[in-house]
């Protein structure tokens, strides 16, 4: 698990939020969409009602125009005609003629019916206009059912009138609004309200009922359509029913994408890159002893990663992740930069060996030679010998090209070593193919040493092989005086291990080199398996 991930494992919070996002957005969007749909239906309902009211007004005014043919005629003569016209035309409750404020003739009552105000159950409006209409709560004959009266007054104070029964309008409103629970009202010239539908209901949660008012451009008619909150909620629920399965799919998709993104974000590769930027890597150096010149001959660079909280990540762990996640090349370039910085402060003899591990991928990389050459240039004035420590595995691919690169670097004075020799499960033919300078025998073979005179066949065979191939040989992981003495006795020229010195940081290395670097290693005679404490 990448180090950062272990410390702030809040990924699940991101995933939950990502899952909730489409749902929350969906709920909001469907609420807006439901309101929009309801609003459109409301506008269309209001317009339909308005156009029906206009159509009725047209009928009423046409009827009044027809009545003009009876002008100046006695009521007794025309009463029958009025009755026929009133009955045979749709919508009308009654029609008739006026004389001043009095009704002079009516399709419903013939001659005797009194004042217009009596029939309307209210005084006629003072409009100052020859044409007017008004919605009224009832008429003398039908007092509890609304109606609309249309009046045309002539200059000689006579006139004509028509009353449309409000029931037609109420039925129409009912037909177009009942299924949606609309509450509708209609007014002619600000008169009595003709209404249909349920009374206004209290809002649901934060949803309030929606009102829409429309006015006719031809007549003084206004309509109001109110959609109750319950209808809005119903429309919202319907939209949710369609949308929710989609939102659920989006949720799952987004959660999977977020999880993938988090995994990528918290990958080792990202953490390693971040650690390089934050200079969390440093280099430790483990001195190498030469049994020939009896002093320190060089050092191997080993990378260290320390987190801000002081915790160390083991190199074998982060190196293998860097290799598998494709960041070993930048990491090794970073190592070379750090080494070059450290080495500026060293005071070592010419030909002091500085070795570092080269990963297989870096060896195949087009920048490899250039990276190493740049490092060599940076430490040129120290006249050190650079040793490239390769694993057997890294020689398997692109052998020809790798051999060419190694020869090129050797021509600039560098050495090539095989690290952990004997553990790579490789055919030994590469020993003939590649330009090698020395082998580093893996710690596993050295651990097998039991006594100075006892044979350790595999180790002995490896050492003999090196001698036969005229390769230098280095014993790795030497922890005891017995192992040290054994290797020295069999002509192993270079020794590395805790017995001589542990890996140390740059400051400690400089101090160590000053104090111990030029001294021969005094081997305890007892050959007890104890660590040398330097
Ligand atoms: N038990 C025991 N261990 C000893 C003794 N002497 C040295 N060692 C350890 O053995 C390892 C030697 O390095 P390696 O074989 O290249 O093995 C290295 C190498 O494969 C890799 N590594 C470390 N630094 C780098 C680097 O900068 N680049 C690359 N590519 N790999 C690196 O990580 C591995 C482990 O590195 P370290 O933990 O530093 O472990 C080091 C060192 O501390 C000893 O006497 N006894």
Render pLDDT for 142-155 as a digit per residue (tens, 0 to 9).
Answer: 999 999 999 999 99
Residue nearest atom 41 of ligand 1, based on CA coordinates? 302
Q: What are phi and psi of 144, to 5 degrees?
A: -105, 20
158-165/147-153 β-pairing: antiparallel
Residues 280, 308 contacting (CB under 8 angstroms): yes
Banded model confidence at residue 163, pLDDT cuts 50, 70, 90: very high
Report the atom number in ligand 1 closest to the C-alpha of 362. 30
Pocket test for ligand 1, best of 275, 284, 302, 497 (most atoms within 8 A of CB): 302
Same domain, 252 and 155: yes
Same domain, 257 and 308: no
Q: Look up residue 503 and give its two tokens.
A: 């890996």
Report the atom number in ligand 1 closest to the C-alpha of 302. 24
- Looking at residue 534, its pLDDT comes to 43
Query: Does residue 408 sit within a domain?
Result: yes
385-390/312-313 β-pairing: unpaired
Tell me which residue of 191, 124, 186, 113 sits closest to 151, measured CA to CA.
124
Same domain, 25 and 112: yes
281-290/494-495 β-pairing: antiparallel
Region 201-227 average pLDDT: 83
Banded model confidence at residue 532, pLDDT cuts 50, 70, 90: very low
Give Cα separations from 378 to 344, 384, 502 (angstroms): 9, 11, 26
332 Cα–ligand 1 center, Å: 15
Burial class of residue 92 (count of CB atoms within 10 Å of its CB; 0-12, 13-18, 19+): buried
Residues 491, 467 contacting (CB under 8 angstroms): yes
Q: Which three-class secondary structure state does DSSP give residue 69?
A: helix
Report the atom number in ligand 1 closest to the C-alpha of 358. 30
Pocket test for ligand 1, best of 337, 357, 422 (most atoms within 8 A of CB): 357
Mark which of 213, 236, 266 sits at the end of a domain: 266
Query: Does residue 521 sit within a domain?
Result: no
437 Cα–ligand 1 center, Å: 20
Q: Which residues have a Cβ under 8 Å from the Cβ of 525 and sit 6 or more positions away?
A: none
- Quickly tell me which residue has 């005084």 as its tokens: 123
Residue 203 has pLDDT above 60, yes or no: no
| DSSP β-bridge partners for residue 475 | 441, 495
Region 253-262 average pLDDT: 87
396 Cα–ligand 1 center, Å: 22
Banded model confidence at residue 244, pLDDT cuts 50, 70, 90: confident
3-state secondary structure labels for all residues of 478-496: CCCHHHHHHHHHCCCCEEC
Same domain, 125 and 272: no
Task: Residue 370: count other Cβ atoms within 10 Å of its Cβ.
Answer: 10
Q: How far is CA 449 from the centre of its chain?
A: 59
357 Cα–ligand 1 center, Å: 9
- Quickly tell me which residue has 């940081």 as its tokens: 505
Q: Look up residue 510 and give its two tokens.
A: 């400089």
484 Cα–ligand 1 center, Å: 19
Tell me which residue of 491, 487, 473, 496 sits closest to 527, measured CA to CA.
487
Banded model confidence at residue 398, pLDDT cuts 50, 70, 90: confident
Banded model confidence at residue 327, pLDDT cuts 50, 70, 90: very high
Report the atom number in ligand 1 closest to the C-alpha of 478. 45
Q: Look up residue 114 and give its two tokens.
A: 């009194």
315-324 and 268-277 helices, crossing angle to 10°? 110
Mark which of 242, 266, 290 sits at the end of a domain: 266
Residues 446, 487 contacting (CB under 8 angstroms): yes
421 Cα–ligand 1 center, Å: 13
38 Cα–ligand 1 center, Å: 73
The three-point CA angle 520-522-524 to 5° equals 160
- Looking at residue 204, its pLDDT comes to 52
Query: Does residue 412 sit within a domain?
Result: yes
Residue 529 has pLDDT above 80, yes or no: no
Banded model confidence at residue 531, pLDDT cuts 50, 70, 90: very low
319 Cα–ligand 1 center, Å: 10
Report the atom number in ligand 1 closest to the C-alpha of 496. 6
Tell me: the pLDDT tens digits for 35-68? 898 899 999 999 999 999 999 999 999 999 999 9
Query: Does residue 523 sit within a domain?
Result: no
Region 115-124 average pLDDT: 93
313 Cα–ligand 1 center, Å: 13
Query: Does residue 526 sit within a domain?
Result: no
| DSSP β-bridge partners for residue 226 | 183, 211
Q: How far is CA 214 from the centre of its chain?
A: 45
Same domain, 293 and 367: yes
Domain coverage including residue 304: 268-516
Q: Look up residue 221 and give its two tokens.
A: 């008619």
Tell me: the pLDDT tens digits for 489-509? 999 999 999 999 999 999 999
- Looking at residue 111, its pLDDT comes to 66
Task: Residue 115: count other Cβ atoms within 10 Å of its Cβ.
Answer: 14
Same domain, 87 and 196: yes
Residue nearest atom 36 of ligand 1, based on CA coordinates? 315
Q: What are phi and psi of 9, to 5 degrees?
A: -90, 65
Mark which of 201, 235, 266 sits at the end of a domain: 266
459 Cα–ligand 1 center, Å: 20
225 Cα–ligand 1 center, Å: 83
Please compute, for residue 347, the number of CA atoms within 13 A of its CA located in the half-sphere on the CB side: 5
- Looking at residue 6, its pLDDT comes to 52
526 Cα–ligand 1 center, Å: 28
Same domain, 84 and 213: yes
The three-point CA angle 356-360-363 to 5° equals 75
Residues 354, 298 contacting (CB under 8 angstroms): yes
Residues 421, 458 contacting (CB under 8 angstroms): no
Report the atom number in ligand 1 closest to the C-alpha of 322. 30
pTM greater than the 0.95 cutoff: no
The ipTM value here is: 0.96
The ligand 1 site (C-beta within 6 Å) comprises 286, 302-303, 315-316, 319, 335, 356-357, 359, 419-420, 443, 477-479, 497-498, 503
Residue nearest atom 34 of ligand 1, based on CA coordinates? 316
Please state, rounded to an integer, the average pLDDT across all residues of the chain. 90
Query: Does residue 528 sit within a domain?
Result: no
368-378 and 399-410 helices, crossing angle to 10°? 20
Query: Does residue 18 sit within a domain?
Result: yes
Residue nearest atom 13 of ligand 1, based on CA coordinates? 302
Report the atom number in ligand 1 closest to the C-alpha of 319. 31
Share of the chain above pLDDT 90, in %: 67
Same domain, 289 and 150: no
Residues 166, 142 contacting (CB under 8 angstroms): no
Q: Which residues have a Cβ under 8 Å from the Cβ of 180 and sit 6 or more positions away?
A: 41, 45, 227, 231
How many whole angstroms separate alpha carbon 339 and alpha carbon 56? 98
Query: Does residue 531 sit within a domain?
Result: no
Tell me which residue of 111, 53, 46 sits closest to 80, measured CA to CA.
111
How many whole angstroms separate alpha carbon 173 and alpha carbon 193? 13
Tell me: the pLDDT tens digits for 402-445? 999 999 999 999 999 999 887 876 667 788 888 899 999 999 99
Total domains, the chain = 2
Same domain, 248 and 287: no
Residue 533 has pLDDT above 60, yes or no: no
Residue 7 has pLDDT above 50, yes or no: no
Question: Looking at residue 293, which CATH number applies to its domain?
Answer: 3.20.20.450
302 Cα–ligand 1 center, Å: 6
Q: Look up residue 91 and give its two tokens.
A: 């919508």
Q: Which three-class secondary structure state does DSSP give residue 322?
A: helix
Residue nearest atom 42 of ligand 1, based on CA coordinates? 503
Annotate 249-300 with DSSP letters as a single string: HHHHHHHHHHHHHHHHHTSHHHHHHHHHHTT-EEEEEEEEEETTTTEEEEEE
Same domain, 273 and 261: no
CA dihedral over 71, 77, 81, 82, signed as positive or negative: positive
Residue 388 has pLDDT above 70, yes or no: yes
How many whole angstroms separate alpha carbon 308 and alpha carbon 298? 31
Burial class of residue 277 (count of CB atoms within 10 Å of its CB; 0-12, 13-18, 19+): exposed
Same domain, 361 and 220: no
Tell me: the pLDDT tens digits for 425-436? 666 778 888 889
325 Cα–ligand 1 center, Å: 20
- Looking at residue 53, its pLDDT comes to 97
Residue nearest atom 18 of ligand 1, based on CA coordinates? 316
Residue 122 has pLDDT above 70, yes or no: yes
Same domain, 110 and 175: yes
Pocket test for ligand 1, best of 272, 299, 312, 315 (most atoms within 8 A of CB): 315
How many whole angstroms separate alpha carbon 164 and alpha carbon 91? 5
């Amino acid at each position: 698990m990448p180090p950062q991930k272990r410390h702030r494992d809040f990924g699940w919070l991101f995933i939950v939020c990502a899952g909730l996002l489409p749902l929350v957005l969906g709920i909001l969007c469907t609420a807006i969409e439901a309101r929009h749909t309801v609003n459109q239906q409301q506008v269309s309902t209001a317009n339909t009602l308005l156009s029906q009211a206009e159509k009725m007004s047209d009928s009423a005014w046409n009827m009044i125009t027809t009545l003009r043919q009876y002008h100046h005629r006695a009521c007794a003569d025309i009463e029958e005609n009025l009755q026929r016209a009133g009955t045979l035309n749709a919508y009308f409750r009654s029609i008739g003629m006026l004389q001043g404020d009095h009704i002079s003739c009516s399709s419903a009552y013939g001659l005797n019916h009194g004042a217009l105000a009596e029939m309307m159950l209210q005084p006629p409006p003072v409009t100052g206009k020859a044409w007017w209409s008004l919605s009224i709560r009832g008429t003398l004959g039908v007092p509890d059912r609304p109606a609309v009266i249309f009046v045309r007054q002539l200059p000689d104070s006579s006139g004509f009138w028509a009353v449309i029964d409000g029931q037609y309008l109420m039925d129409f409103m009912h037909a177009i609004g009942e299924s949606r629970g609309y509450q509708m009202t209609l007014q002619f010239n600000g008169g009595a309200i003709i209404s249909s539908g349920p009374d206004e209901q209290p809002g649901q949660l934060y949803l309030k009922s929606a009102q829409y008012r429309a006015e006719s451009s031809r007549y003084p008619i206004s309509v109001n359509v109110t959609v109750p909150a319950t209808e809005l909620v119903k429309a919202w629920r319907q939209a949710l029913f369609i949308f929710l399965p989609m939102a659920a799919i989006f949720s799952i998709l987004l959660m999977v994408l977020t999880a993938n993104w988090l995994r990528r974000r918290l990958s080792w590769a990202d953490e390693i890159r971040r650690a390089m930027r934050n200079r969390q890597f440093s280099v430790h150096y483990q001195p190498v002893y030469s049994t020939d010149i009896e002093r320190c001959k060089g050092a191997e660079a080993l990378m260290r990663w320390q987190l801000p909280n002081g915790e160390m990540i083991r190199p074998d762990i982060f190196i293998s992740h860097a290799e598998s996640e494709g960041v070993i090349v930048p990491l090794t370039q970073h190592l070379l930069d750090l080494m070059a910085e450290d080495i500026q402060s060293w005071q070592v003899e010419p030909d002091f060996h500085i070795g570092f591990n080269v990963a297989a991928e870096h060896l195949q990389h087009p920048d490899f030679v250039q990276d190493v050459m740049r490092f060599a240039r940076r430490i040129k004035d120290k006249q050190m010998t650079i040793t490239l420590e390769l694993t057997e595995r890294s020689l398997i691919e692109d052998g020809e090209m790798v051999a060419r690169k190694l020869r090129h670097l050797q021509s600039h004075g560098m050495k090539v070593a095989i690290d952990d020799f004997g553990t790579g499960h490789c055919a030994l033919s590469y020993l003939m193919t590649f330009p090698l300078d020395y082998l580093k025998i893996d710690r596993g073979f050295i651990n097998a040493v039991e006594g100075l005179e006892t044979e350790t066949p595999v180790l002995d065979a490896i050492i003999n092989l090196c001698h036969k191939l005229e390769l230098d040989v280095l014993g790795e992981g030497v922890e005891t005086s017995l192992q040290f003495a054994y290797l020295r006795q069999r002509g192993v020229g270079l020794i590395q291990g805790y017995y001589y010195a542990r890996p140390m940081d740059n400051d400690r290395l400089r101090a160590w080199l000053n104090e111990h670097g030029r001294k021969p290693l005094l081997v305890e005679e007892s050959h007890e398996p104890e660590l040398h404490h330097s």
